[in-house]
Amino acid sequence: MKPLDTQNFERIARAIEYIGHNFRAQPTLDDVASHIHMSPYHFQRLFSEWAGVSPKKFLQYISIQHAKSMLRATQATLFDTAFDTGLSGTGRLHDLFVNIEGMTPGEYKNGGAELRIVFSCYDSPFGNVGIASTERGICYMAFTESETAALADLLRHFPNARIMIGETDFHIRAMRIFTESETGPLPLHIKGTDFQLKVWEALLKIPMGRLSSYGTIANEINTPNASRAVGTAIGKNPIAYLIPCHRVIQAGGMIGGYRWGTNRKVAMIGWEAAQVLHIENTNLLQSDNW
């Protein structure tokens, strides 16, 4: 049997998919609840518990208009100001200090024959996620349908590595991104070309609750004509969520594709916006009380 959180996310994902296909008709709460075979009351409660906001508010975060405004935003948000002045609480803010360390050719030649990798699978707000680490950091993190599928995918990345089932401190700290602030540093030990590593490092600079575009990333790494190459590098990101490729959308505001499913990408964007809103509201209350 699947964990309850995974079952709930699958229901949320079906609801998001339905809304995405029918948003022009402005489906009601009853319409969406009926589609996923839940009562309106239970769907509203489930969605609000998962996202922290109502389904209606969530939709505002993932609309094209909102995406465009997020891309155009250049001034600091209340969240940025609160964080810079030390007002932010932990809440669900992920304040990861992630370090990317590229593997040397000798460390992954012959399909990772020199690597010892520890792998485990967890339940996250966005479904099952497989995490693997070497002695130097996280080397793989991917959303998956099952532990078996994630392990098979890991073996394709490192066919000759010595893989063990287990848990490390790296895994535990990586999973904290979904529930609390992680002060790091959290090292990632990954293989990629120099260009890919530059793109992935640029992704780490996109704040939670904000979005960027392929063109913007290309400019940030001083290759303004390489938007297509940037998109390819993003598509090969081996570390889901920790390297936030889900925060990159098309310049026109369209969500675009995602290696682990467009519905999951939409869910992540909306969920993160809801978490930031929660933090902003909390900081406002704290500052008012002060």
User: In terms of Cα–Cα distance, which of 13, 256, 211, 233 is closest to 124?
Assistant: 13
| Token duo for residue 22 | 């029918």
User: In terms of Cα–Cα distance, which of 187, 190, 186 is closest to 104?
Assistant: 190
Question: Residue 179 is which amino acid?
Answer: T
Contacts (Cβ under 8 Å, ≥6 apart) of 123: 3, 5, 6, 129
- Look at the chain and count its residues: 290
- Which helix (H) or strand (E) segment is 271 a member of? helix 262-289
Q: Residue 73, Cα to own-chain centre: how many angstroms?
A: 21
The one catalytic residue among 96, 131, 177, 245 = 245
What is the C-alpha separation between 287 and 194, in angstroms, rounded?
Answer: 44
What is the C-alpha separation between 189 and 98, in angstroms, rounded?
Answer: 11
Whether 121 is catalytic: no
Place of tokens 């939670």: 208
What is the C-alpha separation between 174 and 70, in angstroms, rounded?
Answer: 27
Q: Quickly list H helices, 1-126.
A: 4-22, 29-35, 40-51, 55-62, 64-72, 78-84, 105-112
Active site residues: 245
